[in-house]
Amino acid sequence: MYRRIYHMALKELLEIRRDRWALFRLLAPPLIQLLIFGYAATFEVYHVSAAVLDFDHSQESRELLSRFTGSKRFELAALPANRDAIRSLIDRSEVFVAIQIGPQFAQLLRKGQTAPVQVVIDGTNSNTALIALGYIGEIATAFATDYQTDYVNRVAPRYAPFVPAVTMDERPWYNPDLNSQWFFVPGLIGSLTLMTIVNLTSFGVVREREIGTLEQIMVTPIRPVEFILGKTVPFFLIGLAEAALIALLGCPWFGVPFRGNLLVLLLGTSLFLLSSLAVGLLISTICSTQQQAFASGFFFLTPAFTLSGFAFPISSMPVLMQWLTYIDPLRYYLVVLRGTFLKGTGIEILWPQMLAMTALGAGLLTFSVMRFRKALD
Amino acid sequence: MSRNRLMAIARKELIQIRRDPRSLLIAVLLPVMQLLLLGYGISLDAKHIPVYAYDQEGSQFSQSLLKRFQASKYFDLVATVADYRELTNAIDSDRCKLGIVIPFDFSRRLRDTGAVSVQVLVDGTDDNTANLATGYARAVIGAFSADFQQRWLGRQGLTMAGAAPISIEARTWFNEDLESRNFIIPGIMALVMALVGALLTSLTVAREWERGTMEQLISTPVTAQEVMLGKLLPYFAIGMGDALLCVVMGVWWFGVPFRGTLHSLFVATALFLVVVLGVGFMISVAVRNQLGASILALLVTLMPTSLLSGYTFPIDQMPAAVRAITYLVYSRYYVTILKSIFLKGAGIRVLAGPLLALTIYAALIGTLATRAFRKTLD
């Protein structure tokens, strides 16, 4: 039995080696995506182009505006002459935000009344707008606090050291600089491996059917289970190699740390590959041409990526969709990946994910093997 | 070019599409699936962020701070824990994104020294959510601090400082409620158009070669241009239909505002379709088998459109080298136009730049596609 599986696996590896394009197809898309994703996929907000309109021309207004333009988050892009100019600047996307200080700003401040600052922001990209608004609030609060301290210092210096203030001491764990690459690169290991393995497996079986070599194999003494094992073991190894390659290239390149246990990651990857292989096999049982297999793979992979939490947080999805994410193997693998790379968590925390992947993998694999045997008869 | 022959090819192609369930699936089901899946699945808004609190003081005062977190729509105070380990465990196992630690001498330190800080642990793994959550938390604590400060200053008789010195009056244009769905749905429309256009057309010529019907086509009197135009016309119609479907679903189902004019949308979509169909056709001519053609089509349309078009990831935040590449990505212009039409209600004049870029692309790709196909048998 083992000999037959071994020969089947050997044949499969030989086939991949002899295909001039196979290596290219295996390596090029993941590497290109790794590079583009690593550099292009970012939700960080820096150098937001800002227009500044100061009707007050006081020391206070200049001080506040310089805090905006002096921060690395905002960049002075335009000095419009009047209010109407803001409209066209934002319409043409020349500036993203406009900050306007009214003529009585300093006067109100000195009287101890609240001085308003008008901010107009382009909400088209709501995420950038939200983050930019957060930074604007932060700068304004710092200005207000400093102004008040100054005021107390001037009027009643003996109280100054006692003015109460509650501050926030934030500790972003695992990703102290809130670097997007740290979030995306470990996730890419999962999504790129899933894509490659599902396509490879489904093509591998369907190709035999398409060229008619499946019938030749059927007349040999090989049993269906041996055939499936011989087919999938090479792809399992390729999957491990691909995951390792992406990790070894991507992490040092983008400076992503690895803080967990390598064995935990290996276990998680193996369990995840079971589900990926099972999906590939399942697709091969419903398709008769590689073209169909490709299309079906696409129909499976798009929801698998969207629902996994790869780029978009699951907690923000509608409840019904959140339920759907539980049948997505990538969802669990991403927790394992981010856990081992960034959080350094071990099996004592990741066991529910491992269990879920085992159950999903076993279930899918049984189902696809059953279907596969029927398809062979 | 004869109108008769052109229409004959178009009719033949249309019949072929109608009889091939897979093409119909791609043409109708794919847009609906993508819109529903991505429309619901992609949300960058952070609301109901799960929070754990470790209140070491447990006084009325410290509770009043936690109440503010509970009242905020951005946070859900899930649990209050009794020790630090439980808090770190919750973050480690993804049960919460934010952990608030209030020190045991919170009130006393504030009274005696005037300064106390609340520790906020943030799970930074997902940097975007972490960033938003930190901003919201800072706003909650800042407001708490300011209120307390003002009351204190008022009690000391420093009435001048009785009000907050400045206030930010923010007005958001175009996407007033800052719903991420409103900017993602127009982007999904571009994605769908790119996908459908490139996937469908990438197969048309490759299929003729693969099935051997190309020889029959070559032996007829049709010219190369007639073959190209005739083959692409039905797909152009399908693409336009899909665009309409996307607008209808986006506006009525997802409630995305539509502020521009339908005719500017029509012009932009037509130009974009010419580019996408042309690219798909060229791939199909160059790669003479269906599998290779569809893989290549997906690689050159889906990836740049989803990553480099600005549909979710803002282009102006990318490194300069990547930003330079995005000018080559034709979807970039279409996404800009779509977002402007849907949200800004911008007319043709404001859109002149991206429209011009699309026109140049359409002319270029159109010419190349016409040249690409030759009626020869090798």
Same domain, B115 and B14: no
Split at pLDDT 50, 70, 90, the class of B51 is: very high
Cα A32 to Cα A301: distance, rounded to the nearest angstrom: 18
Question: Which chain A residues are closer than 8 Å to B142 by Cβ?
Answer: 137, 141, 168
Same domain, B216 and B261: yes
Q: What is the pLDDT of residues B117-146, one digit of tens each?
A: 899 999 888 888 888 888 889 888 988 888
Mean pLDDT computed over A137-145? 87
Are B141 and A170 a contacting pair, CB within 8 Å?
no
φ, ψ for residue B258, nearest 5 deg:
-125, 105
Same domain, B61 and B35: no
CA distances from B350 to A50, B336, B347, B353, B354 (A): 19, 11, 6, 7, 9
Q: What is the ipTM of this complex?
A: 0.81
Of chain B, the percentage scoring pLDDT greater than 70 comes to 97
Mutate to test the interface with A, among B48, B102, B127, B316 (most CBs of A within 10 A): B127
Would residue B153 count as lying in a domain? yes
Cα A100 to Cα B377: distance, rounded to the nearest angstrom: 68
Determine which of A353-367, B124-138, B237-251 has the lowest per-residue pLDDT on average: B124-138
Question: Which chain A residues are closer than 8 Å to B42 by Cβ?
Answer: 306, 311-312
Would residue B121 count as lying in a domain? yes
**3-state SS, residue B314:** coil
Same domain, B266 and B350: yes
Chain A contact for B44 (CB, 8 A cutoff)? yes
Chain A contact for B87 (CB, 8 A cutoff)? no
pLDDT at B334: 93
The minimum CA-CA distance between A239 and chain B, rounded to whole Å, is 20
Question: Which chain B residues are closer than 8 Å to A161 by Cβ?
Answer: 114
SS (H, E, C) A130-194: HHHHHHHHHHHHHHHHHHHHHHHHHHCCCCHHHCCEEEEEEEEECCCCCCHHHHHHHHHHHHHHH
Helical spans, DSSP H, in chain B:
3-19, 21-24, 30-41, 60-71, 84-92, 106-112, 127-155, 180-211, 213-218, 224-248, 262-286, 290-307, 320-326, 330-339, 352-372
pLDDT at B245: 92
Would residue B238 count as lying in a domain? yes
User: Which of A40, A124, A316 comes nearest B45 by C-beta?
Assistant: A316
The domains located in chain A, with CATH, are 2-42+179-376 (no CATH), 48-162 (3.40.1710.10)
- Positive/negative CA dihedral, A245, A250, A253, A259: negative
Would residue B377 count as lying in a domain? no
Same domain, B249 and B358: yes
Cα A7 to Cα A313: distance, rounded to the nearest angstrom: 44
Highest average pLDDT, of A2-16, A22-36, B63-77, comes from: B63-77
By C-alpha distance, the chain A residue nearest B129 is A313
Would residue B169 count as lying in a domain? no
Mark which residues 110-139 of B lie under 8 Å from A by CB.
Answer: 110-111, 113-132, 134-139
Mutate to test the interface with B, among A53, A126, A163, A331 (most CBs of B within 10 A): A126
Indicate the number of domains in chain B. 2
By C-alpha distance, the chain A residue nearest B112 is A162
Mean pLDDT computed over A206-224? 81
Please list, in sequence order, all residues whose beta carbon lies within 8 angstroms of the beta carbon of residue A252, skipping any fewer than 6 positions away: none
Q: Does the distance separating the beta carbons of B41 and A306 come in below 8 Å?
A: yes
Question: In this model, does residue B103 exceed pLDDT 60?
Answer: yes
Q: What is the mean pLDDT of chain B?
A: 85
Same domain, B365 and B220: yes
Q: Does the distance separating the beta carbons of B319 and A39 come in below 8 Å?
A: yes
The minimum CA-CA distance between A209 and chain B, rounded to whole Å, is 15
Instruction: Report the CATH number that the domain containing residue B155 is assigned in CATH.
Output: 3.40.1710.10
Q: Does the distance separating the beta carbons of B175 and A43 come in below 8 Å?
A: no
Same domain, B111 and B198: no
Split at pLDDT 50, 70, 90, the class of B360 is: very high
Give, for B98, the enclosing helix (H) or strand (E).
strand B98-102
Q: What is the pLDDT of residues A145-189, one digit of tens each?
A: 888 888 888 877 777 767 777 777 777 788 887 888 888 899 999
pLDDT at B272: 94
The domain in which residue B358 lies consists of 3-43+179-372
Same domain, B228 and B244: yes
Would residue B167 count as lying in a domain? no
User: Which of A111, A128, A307 comes nearest B41 by C-beta?
Assistant: A307
Question: In this model, does residue A376 exceed pLDDT 70?
Answer: no
By C-alpha distance, the chain B residue nearest A146 is B165
Token duo for residue A165? 């203030």
Are B43 and B266 a contacting pair, CB within 8 Å?
no
The CA R_g of chain B, rounded to the nearest whole Å, is 29
Question: Which chain A residues are closer than 8 Å to B314 by Cβ?
Answer: 45, 125, 127-128
pLDDT at A241: 92
Same domain, B232 and B114: no
By C-alpha distance, the chain A residue nearest B62 is A166
Split at pLDDT 50, 70, 90, the class of A38 is: confident
Cα A232 to Cα B257: distance, rounded to the nearest angstrom: 49
Mark which residues 10-29 of B lie under 8 Å from A by CB.
Answer: 22, 26
The minimum CA-CA distance between B3 and chain A, rounded to whole Å, is 33
Would residue B65 count as lying in a domain? yes
Surface-to-core class of residue B349, CB atoms within 10 Å of its CB (0-12 exposed, 13-18 middle, 19+ buried) = exposed
Cα B343 to Cα B180: distance, rounded to the nearest angstrom: 12
Q: Does the distance separating the beta carbons of B138 and A44 come in below 8 Å?
A: no
Domain finish residue from B126, B161, B196? B161
pLDDT at A173: 80
Mutate to test the interface with B, among A107, A291, A323 (most CBs of B within 10 A): A291
Token duo for residue A69? 């333009």
The minimum CA-CA distance between A287 and chain B, rounded to whole Å, is 12
Q: Does the distance separating the beta carbons of A312 and B41 come in below 8 Å?
A: yes
0.90 exceeded by pTM: no
The minimum CA-CA distance between B116 and chain A, rounded to whole Å, is 5
Split at pLDDT 50, 70, 90, the class of B259 is: confident
pLDDT at B377: 60
Domain finish residue from B109, B132, B161? B161
Cα B365 to Cα B274: distance, rounded to the nearest angstrom: 8
B166-173 and A115-122 as β-strands: parallel, antiparallel, unpaired? parallel
Are A49 and A98 a contacting pair, CB within 8 Å?
no
Closest C-alpha among B237, B287, B270 to residue B355: B270
The minimum CA-CA distance between A365 and chain B, rounded to whole Å, is 26
Would residue B201 count as lying in a domain? yes
CB pairs under 8 A between A and B: 327
Same domain, B258 and B313: yes
Question: In this model, does residue A345 exceed pLDDT 70?
Answer: yes
- The residues pairing with B102 across neighbouring beta strands, listed in sequence order, are B55
Same domain, B122 and B236: no
Cα A200 to Cα A203: distance, rounded to the nearest angstrom: 5
Question: In this model, does residue A99 exceed pLDDT 70?
Answer: yes
Closest C-alpha among B44, B48, B91, B52 to residue B72: B48
Mark which residues 86-125 of A lie under 8 Å from B by CB.
Answer: 90-93, 96, 109, 111-125
User: Which of A41, A140, A311 comes nearest B166 by C-beta?
Assistant: A140
By C-alpha distance, the chain B residue nearest A178 is B127
Q: At what angle do helices A262-286 and A329-338 cross, to 10 degrees?
A: 160
Mark which residues 208-267 of B lie under 8 Å from A by CB.
Answer: none
Q: Does the distance separating the beta carbons of B152 and A151 come in below 8 Å?
A: no
Cα A184 to Cα B1: distance, rounded to the nearest angstrom: 52
Q: What is the mean pLDDT of chain A?
A: 86
Question: Which chain A residues are closer than 8 Å to B319 by Cβ?
Answer: 39
Same domain, B292 and B200: yes
Q: What is the pLDDT of residues A254-281, one digit of tens each?
A: 989 998 899 999 999 999 999 999 999 8
The minimum CA-CA distance between A344 and chain B, rounded to whole Å, is 9
Tokens 């339920």 locate to A323
Split at pLDDT 50, 70, 90, the class of B248 is: very high
Mean pLDDT computed over B303-322? 84
Split at pLDDT 50, 70, 90, the class of A329 is: very high
Q: Does the distance separating the beta carbons of B132 and A130 come in below 8 Å?
A: yes
Q: Does the distance separating the beta carbons of B291 and A173 come in below 8 Å?
A: no
User: Which of A29, A116, A338 comes nearest B167 by C-beta?
Assistant: A116
Please list, in sequence order, all residues whose beta carbon lies within 8 angstroms of the beta carbon of residue A14, skipping any fewer than 6 positions away: none
Domain finish residue from B161, B191, B226? B161
